[in-house]
Amino acid sequence: MDPKVVPITKSKPPQADKVTDAGEEITPDVQAALDYHEDGTPGKIAIVPTKPVTTQRDLSLAYSPGVAEPCREIHKRRSAVNRYTARRNLVAVISNGTAVLGLGDIGPYAAKPVMEGKAVLFKRFADIDVFDIEIDAKDPEVLIETVSALEPTFGGINLEDIKAPECFIVEKALKMRMGIPVFHDDQHGTAIITAAALLNCCQLQERETADLKVVCIGAGASAIACMDLWIELGVKRENIIMTDSRGVIRDGRAGVNQYKAPFARPVDDLRHTLADAMKDADVMIGLSSGGTVPVEMVESMGPKPVIFALANPDPEIPYDDAVAARPDAIVATGRSDFPNQVNNVLGFPFIFRGALDVAATAINDEMKLAAARALADLAREPVPQDVIEAYGGESIEYGARYIIPKPFDARVLPWVSTAVAEAAMATGVAQEPVDVEEYRARLTRKAGL
């Protein structure tokens, strides 16, 4: 039951207009968010029929006796399930609530609003239907058994907000056991968007990825996935310094598990602290917590640095501080109120759209790289006026303040989904290939372009 609210008394701070019966303040912004989720029909998603059910004949076709006919066809040929049911366009967003946004281990019930939100984004940006599934289990084996048993229902699995290292175990096992795409967005979504941003930083600064000296602050799921994909782009593993709360990850150091170990520096590497690592670095990517990078560290970086401070809501270093300290830098954050927002919504809806439309059995590295390159290429194109108006009317042009497309750019759908579908076909994971040009044209129409 929702807590009862009472009017704020004069003794309460002016920014809070209500309090719970436990004495916790409810500010106007908090109340607006609660009202948004509660008013009308609670939550953010619903199921609606896609066929008419208004007459007795409609009912007889939708259920008994008519429903027996597609059942018979699917029983004879399993692939017919994609022809006669919603499975082809249905994704499961699955979480156990152990690593939710910046909230941590809040459990599966409290994670549900986030999973419903993810469902809304799938539908809004790529017209993909979603069932959000919250599982009350922390044991990786229980998650693996539960999720793998759902394969008859879904065309794809989007894992969400499962803490490391369990997320690595679960995703790897499910990818091996299931014949549909399995994608942990906390890992690969961030990796794909940052890869696109990095490609354009290199293009703008006339650099080669192989020459970059990279500092990765954080060693969790998204950090490791980002570095793995950046290596696929050409960044050299030996040029990456990864740090965690104990400092630089080094051979023999305590707390270096099997997932961090591939990024461990040699024992004789004299760089032990984050400050040591940042000196003369070309790229800093932060996937840790707010306020961990003082201005002095940014000042110590090499010429024309790239700074991706992605902790949310508070970056490792505030955008304005980074730009003031290094006017020659290209800076990105995870925030929407500054240029170059790294937002996963640029990735997962369109990656799944392309994968589902060719009945892909997996989302492989080639498909991820295709998505990253498509996003990078799109950012170099002139920005349509409707996108400019959606973001306040100020000019948006490819450069240091615009290295990745905006989420409300409708062109992302045909650009990214087509690239993903094409990569799926080229790598042999597409079960139902499409004509690329016809497919691009179909998505362009779907996007209203």
pLDDT of residue 329: 98
What is the pLDDT at residue 2? 39
Judge whether residue 135 has pLDDT over 60. yes
Report the chain's C-alpha Rg in angstroms: 24
Structural domain boundaries in the chain: 1-39, 43-84, 86-180, 188-333, 344-446
pLDDT at 443 over 90: yes
Answer whether residue 392 shows pLDDT above 70: yes
Strands 247-248 and 240-244: antiparallel
166-199 pLDDT, tens digit each = 999 999 999 999 999 999 999 999 999 999 999 9
Mean pLDDT for the stretch of residues 206-219: 97
Query: pLDDT tens digits, residue range 412-430?
Result: 999 999 999 999 999 999 9
- Rounded to whole angstroms, the Cα distance separating 298 from 322 reads 7
| Confidence tier at 22 by pLDDT (50, 70, 90) | low
pLDDT at 407 over 80: yes
Residue 132: its H or E element: strand 129-134
**% of the chain surpassing 90 pLDDT:** 90
- Same fold for the domain at 86-180 and the one at 344-446? yes
> 50 Cβ partners below 8 Å, 6+ apart?
86
Enter the pTM of the model: 0.92
Band the pLDDT of 255: cuts 50, 70, 90: confident
Asked if the model's pLDDT at residue 9 lies above 50, the reply is no
CB 128 within 8 A of CB 352: yes
What integer pLDDT is reported at residue 25 of this predicted model?
80
Paired with 331 in beta bridges are: 307
- The CATH superfamily assigned to 86-180 is Malic enzyme, N-terminal domain (3.40.50.10380)
| Mean predicted confidence (pLDDT) in 53-66 | 95
pLDDT band per the 50, 70, 90 thresholds, residue 101:
confident
Q: pLDDT for 272-323, tens place per residue?
A: 999 999 999 999 999 999 999 999 999 999 999 999 999 988 999 999 999 9
Answer whether 402's CB lies under 8 Å from 376's CB: no
Tell me if 215 sits within 8 A of 282, measured CB to CB.
no
SS3 61: helix
CATH architecture assigned to 188-333? 3-Layer(aba) Sandwich (3.40)
Mean pLDDT for the stretch of residues 372-391: 96
User: Does the pLDDT of residue 216 top 60, yes or no?
Assistant: yes
What is the rounded average pLDDT for all residues in the chain?
93
β-pairing, 156-159 vs 182-184, is: parallel
Tell me which residue has tokens 């970056």. 315
Mean pLDDT of 245-257: 92
* Distance between CA atoms of residues 212 and 236, nearest Å: 8
Give the range among 99-108, 141-150, 153-162, 317-326 with minimum mean pLDDT: 99-108
Q: Is 401:339 a contact under the CB 8 Å cutoff?
A: yes
pLDDT tier for residue 20 given thresholds of 50, 70 and 90: low
Distance of CA 308 to the CA centre of its chain: 16
Which residues are registered as beta bridge partners of 215?
241, 284
Q: Which residue, among 147, 125, 129, 151, has the nearest Cα to 137 in the 3D structure?
A: 147
- Assign 19 a pLDDT band (cuts: 50, 70, 90): low
Does the pLDDT of residue 42 top 70, yes or no?
Answer: yes
Q: What is the pLDDT of residue 17?
A: 52
Nearest CA among 223, 239, 242, 235 for reference residue 198: 235
CATH architecture label of 344-446: 3-Layer(aba) Sandwich (3.40)
How many whole angstroms separate alpha carbon 201 and alpha carbon 402?
10
Where are the extended beta strands (E) located within 224-272?
A: 240-244, 247-248
Q: Is 11 a residue whose pLDDT tops 60?
A: no
Q: What pLDDT, on a 0 to 100 scale, did the predictor assign at position 18? A: 64
Active site residues: 63, 118
